[in-house]
Amino acid sequence: MARTQGSHSDITGPRIQTAALRLFAQHGYAAVSMRQIAKEVGVQAGALYNYTPDKQSMLFGLMRGHMQDLLATWRGQDLPVDAMEQLRVFTGFHIRFHLERADAVFIAYMELRNLSPENFTEIETLRGQYEDALEMILKAGVDQGVFHVPDTKIATLAVIAMLNGVNTWYRAGGRLSLDQVEAIYWDMVHKVVAPN
């Protein structure tokens, strides 16, 4: 992975990641060959192994990178003190972050079964940490009496599932602007946690 001599390492490495991300998202990990990835980058298949020990590591690296990026970016957000406002920030953040990385999101959900057991566990741990971030907000709101949910864990998963759905239908330049999408989902999300 590290750069050695005056080589193309620092240029080829990122290009391999970009190509793999796109191809895995489009055709699926199992359906994409190392030769296809190499062709898209413009090198021979053997050269890929200067950057990854095997195909599985490429997949894992992409997924872990995405999840770490997600967590780090969320943790860098300035959060208001009010639980309702925190939830609003989370809703907008989640929609925009995921729409901007459609390929990585797709892979992170669809290719879990192609991870080795150890790699799977690590990705699930990261995903759990992100879910915990939302659940903390919901719990705080329930404690403050501003939210009512029958089960904070289920509500967490329900909200995330609902928001993830945006990626399946949203297309830039479509019927709705990003601001409109955000407003529509905020309307629905805030009602999910509203008192009856």
**Which residues contact DNA by CB under 7 A?**
3-5, 7-9, 11-12, 32-36, 38, 42-47, 49-51, 53-56
Over the window 166 to 185, marking each residue x when it contacts a copy of itself by CB under 8 A and - when it does not, the resulting string is --xx------x----x-xxx
Tell me: does residue 125 bind a copy of itself (CB under 8 A): no
Question: HEC string of the chain?
Answer: CCCCCCCCHHHHHHHHHHHHHHHHHHHCHHHCCHHHHHHHHCCCHHHHHHCCCCHHHHHHHHHHHHHHHHHHHHHCCCCCCCHHHHHHHHHHHHHHHHHHCHHHHHHHHHCHHHCCHHHHHHHHHHHHHHHHHHHHHHHHHHHCCCCCCCCHHHHHHHHHHHHHCHHHHCCCCCCCCHHHHHHHHHHHHHHHCCCC
Tell me: does residue 63 bind a copy of itself (CB under 8 A): no
Tell me: does residue 161 bind a copy of itself (CB under 8 A): yes
Tell me: does residue 76 bind a copy of itself (CB under 8 A): no
Q: Measured between alpha carbons, how far is 12 from 34 in angstroms, rounded to an integer?
A: 15
Minimum separation from the CB atom of position 192 to a copy of itself (A):
5
When CB distances are held under 5 to 8 angstroms depending on the partner's kind, the choice from DNA, a copy of itself, none that residue 71 binds is none
Q: Measured between alpha carbons, how far is 99 from 26 in angstroms, rounded to an integer?
A: 16
When CB distances are held under 5 to 8 angstroms depending on the partner's kind, the choice from a copy of itself, DNA, none that residue 99 binds is none
Question: Looking at beta carbons only, is 33 or 73 nearer to DNA?
Answer: 33
The region of 1-9, 12-20, 75-83, 149-157 touching a copy of itself under the rule CB under 8 A is 149-157
When CB distances are held under 5 to 8 angstroms depending on the partner's kind, the choice from DNA, a copy of itself, none that residue 79 binds is none
Q: Which residues bind a copy of itself (CB under 8 A)?
A: 26-31, 110, 113-114, 149-151, 154-155, 157-162, 164-165, 168-169, 176, 181, 183-185, 187-188, 191-192, 194, 196
